[in-house]
Every structure is written in structure tokens, then in C-alpha cells.
A and B are shown apart, each in its own frame.
Chain A
């Protein structure tokens, strides 16, 4: 099993640009989570999906952030426009139905200049 796949692994962009992060969950997993990790705030849950439906997006910091899951094998997190304070490592995780463990991807390190 390939595990959770995220792309790109590193992203450097300039303030004001649109950034799209991608995630492919583990096949058969019904839950998908997006997290942001910073030194100051630790690991923050941004949004999660169940069967492709967004369940809780209360962690999304503001309207510049949006997430979609058009099918069971793909999700995106978009930031438009990006700001330097968005610099962080963004993780995607998936979880199988009825189980408790979350499987994390390797993360995308985002730097906004």
C-alpha cells in the first residue's frame, strides 16, 4: 500500500499567489483530514470529510482557504490569495471507517514569501 500521497512536497510562492495542495488518501478510507502544523500553534485540524462530504470546516482560518473532495481518491486544499502567515507544513490524513487510527501523508511544506 502506497499510503497517503501528498503533492507537492515543497512549495515556495509569493504573497498573493494561489496555492493548491493535493492529497490522495488510502484506498477504502472513508475519512479525510487536512491539518496545518506550525511551531507556534502545533497541529491544527482545518477540515475533514466523510465519504467525500465536508463535515466540519470550523478550523479553516478564513475565506482564503477552501477544500474540496470531488471523489474518494482525491482532495485539494486551496489558498487564494496566499499570505506569509500561511507558511506551514500541511498534512493530509485518512482513516478507515469504524477504526480510530489516522494515517498521515508526508506533508507539504509551504513557504509564502
Chain B
């Protein structure tokens, strides 16, 4: 089964604090690990992504840490702001072969509801 396990389910952080969301996977065929951010009433939007040949990727206040041997990856939000309050999804993708020659199948975690108090 292609599964991604995400924790915690919800997270409350004070403004200026660090938010950490963790994900774990089993399928070593996954080759792309994005994080999506979803605000209420909106669709998810890509926030940041990483490939397994890199251990860390940083974009502004958002950092992905990737541990290939442990099959875990996490999102760190530094200096968390109330505007960061949203639901965050980790995801993983692997490439499979079919009659068309190839396709990729994304799998999403269950999501983490982040609330940042002012």
C-alpha cells in the first residue's frame, strides 16, 4: 500500500514559535515529497517540495528535513505567524508503469491543522 502517515493531527503554536509536522512512509519507490498548504474554503496549494537525494530544503521560513534511512520527512515553520494558520498536507509520489508507458500516483497524508496564536 502506498501510505503516508502524518502527525500530529492538530498543532497550536504561539506567534514566533517553531511549528513541526512529521510524516513517515514505507514505499522506497517514492521519489518526490511535496507539502501542501490549505486555507479554509480553498484548495491545497504547493508550499515546498523535496527529492530524496537532498536532506534539507529551505524556502524562507519553511524548511523540509528529509531522512531517507528512516523514511521520514518533516516540515519546520520558523517564526510562525497567525497567517500560517492552515491545514498542511505532506504527500509522496512514485512512478509506476502502465500500458501508456508510465504514470505517477500521489499519496497524501491526513493533514495537520495548525493554529498560530497572536
Q: Which A residues lie at the B interface, using CB under 8 A? A: 4, 33, 42-43, 45, 48, 50, 53, 55-56, 91, 93, 100-107
Which residues of chain B are within 8 angstroms of A45 by Cβ–Cβ distance? 105-108
Contact B103 A50 (CB under 8 A): yes
Report the minimal beta-carbon distance from A73 to chain B, rounded to whole angstroms.
Answer: 18
Contact B44 A106 (CB under 8 A): no
- Interface class of chain B by DSSP: strand
Q: Interface size bucket, B side?
A: 20 to 34
- Interface class of chain A by DSSP: strand
Contact B110 A101 (CB under 8 A): no
Which residues of chain A are within 8 angstroms of B105 by Cβ–Cβ distance? 45, 48, 56
Could you mark each residue 64-102 of chain B with 1 if its beta carbon is under 8 Å from any beta carbon of chain A, else 0? 000000000000000000000000010001000010100
Which residues of chain A are within 8 angstroms of B46 by Cβ–Cβ distance? 101-103
